[in-house]
Amino acid sequence: MLTILFDGVAYGMLLFVLACGLAVTLGLMNFVNLAHGAFAMAGGYCTVILVNRMGVPFFAALPIAFVVSALIGLILERTLYVHVYRKPHLDQVLFTIGLVFMSVAAVDYVMGSSQVFVQLPSWLQGQDVIFGVGVGRYRLLIIVICGLLTLGLQLILTKTRFGSRLRAAVDDARVARGLGINVNWVFAVTFAFGSGLAGLGGALGAEILGLDPSFPLKFMIYFLIVVTVGGTSSITGPFVAALLLGIGDVAGKYYLPAFGAFVIYTIMIVVLIWRPQGLFARPAGR
């Protein structure tokens, strides 16, 4: 049971890093970006190319994957996304789902359709037994990295001037501009940072989840569930939701293999019936 709990926490942490960029763009910027998984796929394939083909050390490839995904996000935000910020959500959905299919086709053409994994260092492979609990080394690394990222992200959004400017720009962009805040710059940096986090999540999850051109479509529903169940008030909601869903998914597939895939949807339905706005609902703006 403790081993399943450990694996569930690791999976939940990974889901959070993959989805927290969407939590920022959807929750704070009020923009429905269904192409979020494409940035995660970009970071994953960047890591695969660097590590498997070019021999770059795994830990050196992680920040490169973050930067590459962030740059792609920044370029697309300045050239494409900026034109649909004020469009209805349906237009945003159609626009971003189109980007998803374009990314799937492009990756399938360039990288092929076979599933690939990242070659981990030998010391990260296998597991150790600690107090009778099987602890996977790589999953323990994921928990540590994702935990530090969560703390850092929460501090940035709540304790820094940039976080205050972002919240002000989201609540009332016109007043924020009147106060001298460069709203376009704030949104661009936020979108790039969220894309970079998605890329980092894709790099970390390439070994556990596997990479193939359909990655953005397969995990799109997971990203949306994490944000929907957690709510949009802060990063805390999606973090708690990711842990809850990760543990539920792993435990369900272990104890109820015939119905394991439905456990995560059952959790979502129960939570949304109990709290339709999510676990941590964002208060209405003035």
d(CA 115, CA 48): 11
Pick from 223, 233, 173: nearest CA to 197: 223
Confidence (pLDDT) at 160: 86
Both tokens assigned to 90: 């349906």
- pLDDT by 10-residue block (mean), the chain, 286 residues: 83 86 76 89 94 91 94 92 87 92 93 89 79 78 87 84 81 81 86 90 88 90 84 75 87 78 80 79 49
Confidence (pLDDT) at 233: 62
Confidence (pLDDT) at 285: 44
Confidence (pLDDT) at 234: 67
The pTM for the full model equals 0.87
Confidence (pLDDT) at 27: 67
Confidence (pLDDT) at 199: 92
